[in-house]
Each structure stands twice: as structure tokens, then as C-alpha cells.
């Protein structure tokens, strides 16, 4: 098994190669505005570091979010197209699950929260690093305060709002290494991973115009 | 004639607005033109919603690439290059196409060519009428652009002669269609009504045609307001709005200015070929009036068939093939989507970080990272 994992659902542009037991090369860069520019060079670097070519890969793992849409789509579109060109399966993994796995918490419950911008967080509750208890959601931190009260929390969304998440700690962003590790475990256990479809959680901002604007001065 | 097998086989990806286009060409021969459009999803909003378009591109890309390959009957392995619209256009939408093109080119081990959307609109005519004469004058009119461009080499030299100072011509069609309650998009429906109307029924203004006005620039904002006011006055007086005559007279005002300025630019520059492209080039009256005026001026008119005038992947492939044929440098893996890529850059050669241009990335006005 050789998995190429990538995630662009948080400010991190992160890529890893995983042979089913270990991460053999990885790269993470934090730059929330340059996912599109950074991802392919990162893939190229990681492959070069491992001394491998892309066609050696047997599967693609991609973070499906939730995350800011523009960046999120860079990873998904790249993964989809790799899958098409190489004829290998593309597996989705919830980005919050990747963060939970990296947090390495044996006994929860705990919370993963990432920055959803517009003063909101993407979040979910976990029993332990491998077991999610709630569907990913997007909310204002103050509105979920009683649901997360007293729980440890990880992720940039938790670190950003200490009033709601006083117990916030690292990791801040997801790593493709964690995403790959989680996917490798699940695939080895014969579990099915979700399709590589984005978790947007919000509808597009668009308003149906009521009527055209009258131009005749009153 | 060289063996067509020697000509570059290129796949082109276009996602600058609401069409997911994947085209395949061999040199100047069209092999496939696959399109998935999200236009119906935008109709109820009365215009293209950038986030809706971006989501649709992501869904449609892989199936559209598949369809284009089947249509062309070629294998991805045999491609000589992958071309993609790097800009200008909606930033988030462009980024989906650029991401796909980079991944595809990288996985197949093929060179990548990030190309200019406007130059592609010009180059597509090679698929219809053979190699572009050099120089060629081009009038590009669509919902996103209205420009007069002069090109002596479509891969390296595109000079802007004039452009709209406010609305694009296609935008004016959409807005007037909305005032008349004809739905979105406005171009085709106004064209249809106009055929049964009198283009001289109402004397609508011709923007920027005064003796001191810039010779090749356009303005459609004043016309749009004049037409809306005329309709509102009719409604206020309790009279019925003559939709056919309004459509015909409005359309005539637009195409009169477009063709007059394009022909004048050809004459002034001593260019004997005019090509017209972009979605509005599908307008029947624009085609007819341009033909008439070009004939009178001894200019040869080249207008591709309507399907090649609207945004599509074949036009991107056509320009990509020309880049390969002329040995232009491929783009690098850090190629970015540039919503305001200047028209003077037909493509984005490698080492894009050394290559900066001083313009603001604000054309699309969308909240990119929301
Ligand atoms: Zn266009």
C-alpha cells in the first residue's frame, strides 16, 4: 500500500506519503491564501524525498473539510484528478477526524474546532481520537458554549476563542500524515471511507433579486 | 501540408465563469468540445453566483474530462500538453480548473500551459477558419468582457486597442432582459424578440461616439439606463411596453457601436481581418451588421460558430496547441489562478514568482476565502 494524502481545508497545505504502516515523507506549510500555488510543488517535493514517482501510489486520501471553500476545493480537485489520471481510488476523510487522530487522546470526550471565518467555527465532539460523536457543524462559539463546556479542545478554531474553549491546545492545523495514518488504519480494518465530496456545511452566499432597481429619479 | 499527426495534441480546461469546458485539439483541428454548464443554477439569481459556479466546476470536472477524451477518441497518454485558463475570470472558479490541470499534467507527465482567457477567445477561430492572419483585429464581446484587441502573434503579442469603461456588452443584454422580465441570460431571448421588432423604432443613445470620445473604447451603462427609463415611462403612463421594438432598438444601439468601432480600428491600423468572439458574437444582428460593414470596407470577417464563441475548453486547447507549436515555455507547478491576468500576457510561463505585474486582484469582487 502506498497512500498519497493531502489536505487543504485549513490554513495548512499538507501532503504525506504513507506505506500502510509508516509515514515515509511529508510536508506542511501554513499559508491560508496560497493553497493553489503550494500544493503541487509540495506533492513533487514529498515524492522526490521518498525517491518515488506518482504512479507508484495505490490510493489517494484527501481531507473533505469542513473548511473554507476556496482552499478546500484545491485539495479535492487535485485528488479527484490524480485518481482519474492514475486509475487509483480516492478516499475522503473528514478533516476534523484527522485533527482528532493527531491529538492522540485515548479517553475523551474532547472537541475539535477549526476556523470557519465570519466569527464561526467548524467543530465536532469526539469520544477518543478515533471515534466522532457528532456530525461536523458550523456555529458561533458562544452558541455552542454549553455543549463544549469543560471539555479539552484542539484546533485553530478552539485556540482562537479561549472564552468558549479555555482548555484549547495543539495541534492547531491538520497534518496529511495524521490523515494518512487514520485512513491506513481504517482501510486495513476493512472500513469504507467516505467519498471525496466536500463538506461545505453552508449554502452559497447568493440572493435572489426581488426586482430590478428602478432608474427613473423620483 | 504537414502530416497532421505531427501537430500537437492538447487538452484544454476552461473554468473562468459558469461553464466547465474541456476541449481537445490536434493543431488547428477540433477533436472534442465537452461542456457542463451551471447556467440553470444561476438563472434564479439573475446572474452568475461565483460560489455556485465553483462548486459546480468541482463536480463536473472529472466527468467532463472523461467525456472529452471519449469524444476525441484519444488516450490521455498521447497528449502533448495540458492547457488551462489561468485568468482573467472569477478567482475561485479559475482555481478549480487550474488545480485540475496541474494535477492532470503532473500525473501524466505532460507540460502545463496556463493561458489567457481572452487570447483563447481569439485563437479558437483557428479551429474554424484555419491559422489566424497576422496581424488580426479581434472584437471580444461577452457578459464579462468587451474589448478590441490587435494581435500579431497570439502566443506572444496581444495589444489592447480599447475596452468598455463600464459594463460589458453581454451584461447590458442581461440587465435589459431583466427590466423586460425576460429572464437570464438575456442575450438569446433579446435576439429572438428583436428579429420581430423595428430597430429604428426608438432612438437609443450610442455611447462614446462623440468626436472627442476615445475612438475604440465602449460604454453601455448610459444606454442601459436610457432603455430602462424609457420602459419605466411607458409603464408609468399605463401603456404596454413594445418588447419587440425595445429589444430591436436596444440591440441595434449595441451592435452599431461595436461594429462601427471595430471597422474603424481595422482601417486605422491597416488590418484587413476582423475576428469576433465571445458569447455576444452569437448574436445574429451583430454577425449580420459586421458582415455588411466589413464587406463595404474590404475587410475579411471571421466569426466562429456560436458554440465556439461562448466559453469552452476547445479555445483553451487551441491556444495551448499554438504554444506547443511555437515552442513557448511551459508553466511551472506553482502556477496560480489570476483573476485579473492582463490581456497582454497570452500565457503564464514558468517561474511565475519572478513574474509579477502591478495590478490588484479585485476584478471578480468575490470574497475569495470566505
Ligand atoms: Zn469569455
Are the beta carbons of B99 and A118 separated by less than 8 Å? no
pLDDT at res. B43 = 80
- Of B165, B168, B162, the residue nearest B186 (C-alpha): B168
Tell which residue, B14, B289, B321, has the closest CA to residue B154. Answer: B321
> Mean pLDDT across chain B, nearest whole number?
92
Judged against a pLDDT cut of 80, whether residue B2 lies above it is answered with no
Pick from A29-33, A48-52, A207-211, B358-362: least confident: B358-362
8 A C-beta contact, residue A114 and residue A99: yes
State in Å, rounded, how far the first CA of chain B is from the last one. Answer: 53
Contact B62 A212 (CB under 8 A): no
Distance, in Å, from the CA atom of B164 to the CA atom of B166, rounded to the nearest integer, reads 5
pLDDT at B330: 98
B229 to chain A: which residues are within 8 Å by CB? 215-216
Query: In 10 A of CB A62, how many CB atoms?
Result: 31
**pLDDT score of A207:** 66
CA distance A14 to chain B (A): 15
pLDDT at B310: 93
Which of B249, B157, B260 shows the shortest CA–CA distance to B201?
Answer: B249
Mean pLDDT of A201-207: 83
Note the pLDDT of residue B357.
Answer: 40
**Closest residue, chain B, to A33 (C-alpha):** B369
Which has the closest alpha carbon to B16: B47, B53, B44, B43?
A: B53
Nearest CB to B76: which of A69, A85, A206?
A85
The more confidently predicted of residues B353 and B7 is B7
Q: Is residue B1 over pLDDT 90?
A: no
* A79 interaction partners in chain B (CB closer than 8 Å): 103
Ligand 1 centre distance from Cα of residue B356 (Å): 23
- Map residue A48 onto helix, strand or coil: helix
Taking CA atoms, B260 is separated from A6, A160, B184, B269, in Å, by 53, 59, 28, 14
- Name the least confident of B37-41, B126-130, B232-236, B320-324: B37-41
Of B55, B233, B334, the CB nearest to A204: B55
Enumerate the residues of chain A whose CB falls inside 8 A of the CB of residue B46. 208-209
Give A 137-196 residues with CB within 8 A of chain B. none
Over residues B313-318, mean pLDDT: 98
pLDDT of residue B5: 61
Q: CB-based contact (8 Å) between B343 and chain A?
A: no
With CA atoms as reference, the chain A residue closest to B366 would be A205
Q: How many A from CA of B278 to the centre of ligand 1?
A: 5
ipTM computed for the complex = 0.95
Grid cell listed for A204? 452559497
How far apart are the CA of B170 and the centre of ligand 1, in A?
Answer: 10
| Rg value, chain A, Cα | 19
Cβ B51 vs Cβ A205: under 8 Å: yes
Residue A200: DSSP 8-state: -
Q: What are phi and psi of A188, to 5 degrees?
A: -65, -35
- Which residue has better confidence, B126 or A205? B126
B336 at interface of A, judged by CB pairs closer than 8 A: yes
pLDDT of residue B39: 82
Strands B112-116 and B347-348: antiparallel
Cα gap B175→B356, rounded to integer Å: 35
What is the per-residue DSSP string for B76-132? GGG-SEEEEEEESS-HHHHHHHHHHHHHHHHHHT--EEEEEHHHHHHHTTHHHHSSP
pTM check: above 0.90 = yes
User: Could you tell me the three cell numbers for B366?
Assistant: 468575490
pLDDT score of B70: 98
Among residues B142, B182, B120, the alpha carbon closest in space to that of B343 is found at B120
pLDDT-based confidence at residue B359 (cuts at 50, 70, 90)? very low
The predicted-structure confidence for B270-312, as pLDDT tens digits, reads as follows 999 999 999 999 999 999 999 999 999 999 999 999 999 999 9
Apex CA A94: angle with CA A88 and CA A100, to 5°? Answer: 125
**What is the bridge-based pairing of β-strands B146-153 and B136-141?**
antiparallel
Taking only the tens place, the pLDDT of each residue in A68-124 is 999 999 999 999 999 999 999 999 999 999 999 999 999 989 999 999 999 999 999
Average pLDDT of the residues in B201-218: 95
Q: Which of B350, B279, B233 is nearest to B19 (CA)?
A: B279
In chain B, residues 262-321 whose CB comes closer than 8 Å to chain A: none
Amino acid at each position: 500500500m502506498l497512500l498519497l494524502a493531502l489536505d487543504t481545508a485549513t490554513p495548512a497545505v499538507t501532503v504525506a506519503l504513507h506505506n500502510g504502516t509508516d509515514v515515509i515523507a511529508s510536508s506542511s506549510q501554513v499559508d491560508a491564501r496560497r493553497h493553489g500555488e503550494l500544493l503541487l510543488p509540495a506533492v513533487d517535493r514529498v515524492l522526490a524525498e521518498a525517491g518515488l514517482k506518482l504512479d507508484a501510489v495505490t490510493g489517494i486520501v484527501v481531507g473533505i473539510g469542513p473548511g473554507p471553500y476556496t482552499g478546500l476545493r484545491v485539495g479535492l480537485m487535485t485528488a479527484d484528478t490524480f485518481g482519474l489520471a492514475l486509475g487509483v481510488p480516492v478516499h475522503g476523510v473528514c478533516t476534523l477526524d484527522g485533527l482528532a487522530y493527531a491529538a492522540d487522546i485515548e479517553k475523551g470526550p474532547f472537541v475539535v474546532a477549526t476556523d470557519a471565518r465570519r466569527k464561526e467555527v467548524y467543530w465536532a465532539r469526539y469520544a477518543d481520537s478515533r471515534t466522532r460523536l457528532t456530525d461536523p457543524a458550523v456555529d458561533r462559539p458562544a452558541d455552542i458554549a454549553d455543549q463544549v463546556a469543560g471539555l479539552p479542545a484542539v484546533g485553530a478554531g478552539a485556540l482562537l476563542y479561549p472564552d468558549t474553549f479555555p482548555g484549547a491546545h495543539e495541534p492547531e492545523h491538520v497534518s496529511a500524515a495524521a490523515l494518512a495514518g487514520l485512513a491506513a488504519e481504517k482501510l486495513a480494518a476493512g472500513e469504507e471511507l467516505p467519498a471525496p465530496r466536500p463538506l461545505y456545511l453552508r449554502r452559497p452566499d447568493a440572493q435572489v433579486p426581488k426586482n430590478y432597481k428602478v432608474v427613473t429619479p423620483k | 501540408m504537414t502530416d497532421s499527426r505531427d501537430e500537437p495534441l492538447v487538452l484544454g480546461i476552461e473554468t473562468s465563469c459558469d461553464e466547465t469546458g474541456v476541449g481537445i485539439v490536434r493543431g488547428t483541428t477540433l477533436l472534442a468540445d465537452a461542456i457542463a454548464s451551471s447556467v440553470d443554477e444561476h438563472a434564479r439569481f439573475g446572474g452568475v453566483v461565483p460560489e455556485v459556479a465553483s462548486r459546480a466546476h468541482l463536480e463536473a470536472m472529472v466527468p467532463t474530462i472523461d467525456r472529452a477524451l471519449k469524444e476525441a477518441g484519444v488516450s490521455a497518454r498521447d497528449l502533448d500538453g495540458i492547457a488551462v485558463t489561468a485568468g482573467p475570470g472569477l478567482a475561485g472558479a479559475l482555481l478549480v480548473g487550474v488545480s485540475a490541470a496541474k494535477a492532470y499534467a503532473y500525473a501524466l507527465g505532460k507540460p502545463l500551459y496556463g493561458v489567457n482567457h481572452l487570447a483563447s477567445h481569439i485563437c479558437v477561430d483557428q479551429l474554424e477558419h484555419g491559422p489566424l492572419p497576422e496581424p488580426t483585429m479581434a472584437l471580444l464581446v461577452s457578459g464579462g468582457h468587451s474589448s478590441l484587441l490587435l494581435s500579431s502573434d497570439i502566443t506572444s503579442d496581444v495589444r489592447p486597442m480599447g475596452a468598455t469603461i463600464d459594463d460589458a456588452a453581454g451584461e447590458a443584454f442581461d440587465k435589459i432582459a431583466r427590466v423586460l422580465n425576460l429572464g437570464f441570460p438575456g442575450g438569446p431571448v433579446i435576439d429572438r424578440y428583436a428579429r420581430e421588432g423595428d430597430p429604428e423604432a426608438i432612438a437609443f443613445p450610442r455611447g462614446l461616439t462623440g468626436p472627442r470620445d476615445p475612438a475604440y473604447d465602449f460604454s453601455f451603462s448610459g444606454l442601459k439606463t436610457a432603455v430602462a427609463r424609457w420602459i419605466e415611462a411607458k409603464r408609468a403612463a399605463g401603456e404596454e411596453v413594445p418588447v419587440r421594438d425595445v429589444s430591436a432598438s436596444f440591440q441595434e444601439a449595441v451592435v452599431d457601436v461595436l461594429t462601427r468601432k471595430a471597422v474603424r480600428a481595422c482601417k486605422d491600423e491597416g488590418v484587413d481581418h476582423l475576428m469576433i468572439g465571445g458569447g455576444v458574437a452569437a448574436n445574429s444582428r451583430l454577425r449580420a451588421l459586421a458582415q455588411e460593414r466589413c464587406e463595404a470596407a474590404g475587410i475579411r470577417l471571421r466569426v466562429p460558430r456560436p458554440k465556439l464563441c461562448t466559453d469552452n475548453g476547445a479555445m483553451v486547447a487551441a491556444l495551448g496547441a499554438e504554444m506547443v507549436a511555437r515552442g513557448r515555455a511551459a508553466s511551472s507547478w506553482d502556477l496560480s489562478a489570476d483573476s485579473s491576468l492582463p490581456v497582454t500576457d497570452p500565457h503564464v510561463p514558468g517561474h511565475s514568482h519572478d513574474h509579477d505585474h502591478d495590478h490588484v486582484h479585485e476584478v471578480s469582487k468575490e470574497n475569495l476565502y470566505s
